Amino acid sequence: MDFLTVHELLLREPNLLVSLLQKSNWKRRYKDQYHEEILGNGRNLLLGDSGKIIHIIEGELLQQITNEKTEKNVINAIWGKGDCVFHNVFQEGNYEYIALGNVKLEVYNAGVVLQEIGQHPFFPDLLIDNIKRLEDNLFQYSKMLTKGTDERVTDMIRRLSKKGKDGYCIPKFVNYVLLAKCCQITPRTAKSKLKELEKSFQIIQLDGNRVLRFEAINSGL
């Protein structure tokens, strides 16, 4: 199973997987199969080959994988607060995670968790529904890569930003280096596209914050 995703995917409200973990007293019963991680901005998280379930409590996490043929890192997904990431559970790979801002995580032993919650009669249906969502969003991610550079940059800024009344408020950690990785373009191109957005007043300054105006989403640049 291919677990390539984009930012909004996997389990959304109501987050049934997280509810099951909390109600089963998992942390108390399996203390040696669970731990918390607090990552500073830009810090890497390496989990090895064993299957893990990562629950993001706060912040956002960039997931990348090393392409064995080219030995280059490729962005898989950007996960946000409340997401659950299945690390080397359905498909093995050389996955690495990078904190976007400050991030707090819960990391579980996937084998023990799935065995525990698999006792619930509705869980197989939940998993099937989740797989369908992943497939749909994998196509969405693939479609994004067919877009032009301008559309990819504005789309990625929107995904990483908070929607407000005047547009999308851009967090400080969203810079040309991050956009280059996420959009699969060079840092030079990403920097140039940001300048174009600013010169055309599609990115403006409001109350000390950068804001991507709604018009930029509809018109590309």
Count of alpha carbons within 13 Å of 20, Cβ hemisphere only?
18
CA dihedral 109, 73, 211, 162 (to 10 degrees): -20
Q: How far apart are CA 26 and CA 37, in angstroms?
A: 17
Q: Which pLDDT belongs to residue 5?
A: 38
196: pLDDT strictly greater than 90: yes
Token pair of 66 as six digits: 């090393």
Quote the pLDDT of residue 37.
Answer: 92
Mean predicted confidence (pLDDT) in 175-186: 81
Pick the most confident of 120-124, 171-175, 202-206: 202-206
The total number of residues written for the chain in this structure: 221
Confidence check: pLDDT of 172 > 80? yes
User: 20 vs 208, which has greater pLDDT?
Assistant: 208
Q: What is the pLDDT of residue 192?
A: 93
pLDDT of 89 > 60? The answer is yes
Question: What domains can you pick out in the chain, each with its CATH number?
Answer: 3-145 (2.60.120.10), 148-213 (1.10.10.10)
Computed over every residue of the chain, the mean pLDDT equals: 76
Using one digit for the tens of pLDDT, what is the confidence trace for 95-149?
Answer: 888 888 899 999 999 888 878 777 766 666 666 666 566 555 555 555 555 678 8
Give me the pLDDT at residue 13, please. Answer: 44
pLDDT in tens, 35-74: 899 999 888 888 888 899 888 889 888 887 776 666 667 7
